[in-house]
């Protein structure tokens, strides 16, 4: 089974600053999808951004962007101009060709006003 | 918008009780999933279903069963609840398109006494 590792259980960032959340994964597959999900306190998990492994270009969604390094099996999330509403648990996820999703253990992000 | 609903936000049961957790999605998604979320462990897949009456075991199926009699509804059953099944349970659905993410329900926090 694939494994997804988030090595930062907790992170903090000053409002308006930039923060990067790390994610690495282990796989023998050549084609797959990677996702970052956000789970605000007591609220539903929502998609932040996705990346297809066969695309070399890094995905961006407004203030959110990824640094996808396929050879290194690394998929970090960069949040620019951090806002109070960005405070949440962030999960990195890997989708295999077998339709299963594998999630990391999460990074709790605190935004300091 | 895709909507995934779960029958209860909070549930308290006694050891040995049979517990039903219901999940309904309104977007005609083929695939549905049940996860449990525990601090420090992230999301772990219990079961998933890719069609009516079809089911596949995930990483931690022991002590659980599922039922999918209709496309929009996916039920998780704890045949005889135990205290180690106290957890947050998340349901998710997604379409069959490879690119698509999972959409999550709000979660059910189950406490087994």
| Nearest-CA distance B96 → chain A (Å) | 9
CB A85 within 8 A of CB A72: no
For residue range B71-102, what is the model confidence (pLDDT) as tens digits? Answer: 999 999 999 999 999 999 999 999 877 677 89
Is the domain defined by A3-112 classed in CATH 2.40.100.10? no
| Nearest-CA distance B82 → chain A (Å) | 24
CB contact under 8 Å between A52 and B106, yes or no, is no
Sorted by sequence, the CB contacts under 8 Å of residue B102 that are 6+ apart come out as A101, B33, B92, B93, B94
CB B22 within 8 A of CB B9: no
CATH topology of domain B4-8+15-97: Immunoglobulin-like (2.60.40)
Among chain B residues, the shortest Cα distance to A2 is held by B59
**In Å, what is the CA distance from A72 to each residue of A27, A69, A76, B23, B26?**
11, 5, 11, 38, 39
pLDDT at B2 over 70: no
CB B110 within 8 A of CB B18: no
Residue B73 DSSP SS3: strand
Q: Alpha-carbon distance A82 to B106, whole Å?
A: 25
pLDDT at B9 over 90: yes
For residue range A70-80, what is the model confidence (pLDDT) as tens digits? Answer: 999 999 999 99
Task: Kindly list the domain boundaries of chain A, sorted by start residue.
Answer: 3-112
B contacts of A88 (beta carbons < 8 Å) = none
């Amino acid at each position: 089974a694939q494994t997804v590792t988030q090595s930062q259980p907790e992170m903090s960032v000053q409002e308006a600053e930039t923060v990067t959340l790390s994610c690495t994964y282990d796989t023998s597959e050549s084609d797959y999808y990677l996702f970052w999900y956000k789970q605000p306190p007591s609220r539903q998990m929502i998609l932040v951004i996705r990346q297809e492994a066969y695309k070399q270009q890094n995905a961006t969604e407004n203030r959110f962007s990824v640094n996808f390094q396929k050879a290194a099996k690394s998929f970090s999330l960069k949040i620019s101009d951090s806002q109070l509403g960005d405070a949440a648990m962030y999960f990195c996820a890997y989708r295999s060709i077998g339709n299963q999703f594998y999630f990391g253990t999460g990074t709790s992000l605190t935004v300091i006003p | 918008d895709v909507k995934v609903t779960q029958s209860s936000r909070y549930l308290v049961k006694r050891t040995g009780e049979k517990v039903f957790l219901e999940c309904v999605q309104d977007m005609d998604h083929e695939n549905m999933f049940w996860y449990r979320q525990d601090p420090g462990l992230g999301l772990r897949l219990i079961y998933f279903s890719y069609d009516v009456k079809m089911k596949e075991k995930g990483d931690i199926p022991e002590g659980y069963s599922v039922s999918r009699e209709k496309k929009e509804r996916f039920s998780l059953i704890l045949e005889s609840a135990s205290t180690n099944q106290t957890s947050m349970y998340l349901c998710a659905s997604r379409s069959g398109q490879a690119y698509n993410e999972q959409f999550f329900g709000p979660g059910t926090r189950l406490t087994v006494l």
